Chain A
Amino acid sequence: MTPNKAFSEAINKHGVSRDSLLPVLQYVISKEQWLKEETMEEVAKAFGMSAAEVYGVATFYSFLDTEPRGRYVIRVCRTISCDMAGKKEIIESLKNELRVKTGETTPDGMFTLLETNCMGWCHKGPAMLVNDDVFTELTPDKAVAVIQEYREKSKQ
């Protein structure tokens, strides 16, 4: 098994003491969007933990995905303020544009569509995250334009 590149970089940067576990997993996510089984096994070995424990920690946090994710993970806020501001229409327009359901990834592996809990933009809803980037005061058209922007970006 060849060592995972992102993982090697992560432990070079953060080390393998227990309090570095989250930073290491977060680093891998920032490069690969999700944690593969093999990666979690490698992490466990390096940290001297059981793979089950690494899995247990990872699955606790909604940003440490253990299922396949696209290059761009879209998280639309579903909490009440964004809901009242029209979150449903945003989800519908994204589903149409991407041709996936909530929770699914586009076949080209580019986008994953998820919902998330309050992300702290309640006065400017509806809001969504694409990876770490924030988009607020969305309209269905604006949401689609954001997707197109990322498509363009991925071609560069």
Chain B
Amino acid sequence: MSNTDKNEILNKMQERVNLIFKNSDCSAILDKALTMKQDDIIKSVTDSGLRGRGGAGFPTGLKWKGAAAASGNIKYIICNADEGEPGTFKDRRILEEEADKVITGMAICAYAVGVSEGYIYLRGEYNFMKDKLQGECDKWNDKFKSKKLNFTVNVRSGAGAYVCGEETALIESMEGRRGEPRNKPPFPVGAGYMNEPTVVNNVETLAYVATIIDKGADYFKSIGTKDSMGGKVFSVSGDCAVKGIYELPLGMTMQEFVDLFGDGDTKAVQVGGASGTCVPRKNFATTVIGFEGVPTGGSMMLFNSKRSMFNALRNYLEFFEEESCGQCTPCRVGCQQLLKGIEAIRSGERPVSYIEELRKLAVTMSVASKCGLGQSVASPFNSITEHFREEICY
């Protein structure tokens, strides 16, 4: 395929979705929502099939329904802008360019669920945009007042901890503590921030809420597949012909994706960041990008045949070892042992068969760890060591 053809296909695909980065009158969208019945909004979000865009894919409508039914003195919504997954950078652009849609999504939730306070938890690395974002919040807080919506939104800043992207760790952090995840249940929709019902949604999810109210659930559903409805904003990096942020329909095959973005020599794609899954070339044609295949928070890292997957895996493990909060043993010790383990095999200190022990350890971590961080280390570890065993061991 020539570059012109590629660009044409890519433009067409983006044009087909084109929800998040399209100019819309958010004030009118909010007005529309405020004329709807609360239950109808939640129904609309449920019908759209929208699932959390941070990576875990929990149905947004269901979350809202739970929070609406929960009783508390006050309810909160937190926009999770602690985008720390390696290879993910789409929320940054959404917040820089489309903060209106995100804040509108929060306000729609506030009205539908009965929330009166909202926070955008912005990762410390994005401090450069904090003042501007707070300015947007202030502007909208005035609007809420004039529309007689009892809701305010403000920015809270993170301080450099990946695990705070986990919703209960994020809440701990907002309460002024170490960002150590809580046991679930109770879930935040029942008892979250300050022990009150709390909705935690990803930046992209909230922006999509605004577009669903604007264009209707059916329109959103018409994009993507049965299990993966709507569009998705992808963060594309690594060895690519083109890289950056693209909004595409879910349900493409990896082969289609690599044909568009790869440099012609792609041997593997790490889907979903460091905590995601590695898809090797031989599986490109049969792998669907979406909840029915490889789910993703949007991070797509491409590796060409010149790259060492040992280096990639070691880099991920160094990351997890440092970012593990240390609270539970499987994750704290497991991350260290996996890293030490592959280095020991590489140096000859341990036999090649030791890799099987490490793979078992990774599975144990996925069952025994308290939160998503430790639970997901097995995804990169076992997919990379399965498909690139030689590169890891020799």
Contact residues in A for B244 (Cβ distance below 8 Å): 123
Q: Of all chain A residues, which has the CB nearest B162?
A: A117
Q: How far is the CA of A122 from the CA of B234 in the complex (A)?
A: 12
Partner of B86, one of A20, A61, A117: A117
Asked if B127 contacts A120 (CB within 8 A), the reply is no
Q: In the assembled complex, how far is the CB of residue A30 from the closest CB belonging to chain B, in whole angstroms?
A: 9
Number of interface residues, chain A, beta carbon within 8 A: 34
Nearest to B318 among chain A residues (CB) is A78
Query: Could you tell me the distance in whole angstroms from the C-beta of A112 to the nearest C-beta in chain B?
Result: 14
- The one of A56, A118, A123 that contacts B178, using a Cβ cutoff of 8 Å: A56
A52 within 8 A of B: no
Choice from A23, A61, A123 contacting B245 with Cβ under 8 Å: A123
Q: B212: which A residues are within 8 A, CB to CB?
A: none
A108-130 CB contacts (< 8 Å) to partner B: 116-123, 125, 129
Write out, one digit per residue, whether chain B residues 134-149 have a CB within 8 A of any chain A CB (1) or not (0).
Answer: 0000000000000000
Beta-carbon contact of B128 and A132 below 8 Å: yes
Candidates A80, A117, A120, A132; contact of B323 at CB < 8 Å: A117
Say yes or no for A11: interface residue by CB 8 A criterion. Answer: no
B186 within 8 A of A: no
Please indicate the chain B residues that have their CB under 8 angstroms from the CB of A125 in the complex: 237
User: Which A residue's beta carbon lies closest to that of B83?
Assistant: A120
The CA of A152 and the CA of B152, in the complex, are separated in Å by 41
Q: How far is the CA of A114 from the CA of B238 in the complex (A)?
A: 23
B316 CB contacts on chain A under 8 angstroms: 80
Q: Give the bracket for the number of chain B residues in contact with chain A.
A: 35 or more
The answer for the CA separation of A41 and B364 in the assembled complex, in Å, is 41
The winner among A25, A62, A79 for most chain B CB atoms within 10 A is A79
Question: Do B86 and A118 have beta carbons less than 8 Å apart?
Answer: yes
A72 to B287, CA, bound (A): 46
For the complex, is A90 an interface residue (Cβ under 8 Å from B)? no
User: Which residue in chain B gives the minimum CB-CB distance to A20?
Assistant: B176
Q: Contacts A23-B157, A60-B179 given: A118-B245 contact, CB under 8 Å?
A: no
Known interface pairs A79-B315, A81-B301, A132-B128; A62-B245 also in contact (CB < 8 Å): no
Question: Does B239 count as interface, using CB distance less than 8 angstroms?
Answer: yes
Knowing A22-B157, A63-B160, A134-B128, say if A123 contacts B237 (CB, 8 Å): yes
Q: Are A19 and B162 closer than 8 Å at their CB atoms?
A: no
Given known A-B contacts A62-B161, A118-B87, A125-B237, A57 and B127 have beta carbons under 8 A apart: no
Name A's B-contacting residues (CB within 8 A).
18-23, 25-26, 56-57, 60-64, 78-81, 83-84, 116-123, 125, 129, 132-134
Q: Can you list the 4 inter-chain pairs with the closest CB atoms, starting with the nearest? A: A21-B176, A61-B159, A62-B160, A122-B237
Question: Could you tell me which B residues sit within 8 Å of A by CB distance?
Answer: 83-89, 91-92, 123-128, 156-162, 173-180, 194, 235-239, 243-245, 274, 299, 301, 307, 311-312, 315-316, 318-319, 322-323, 325
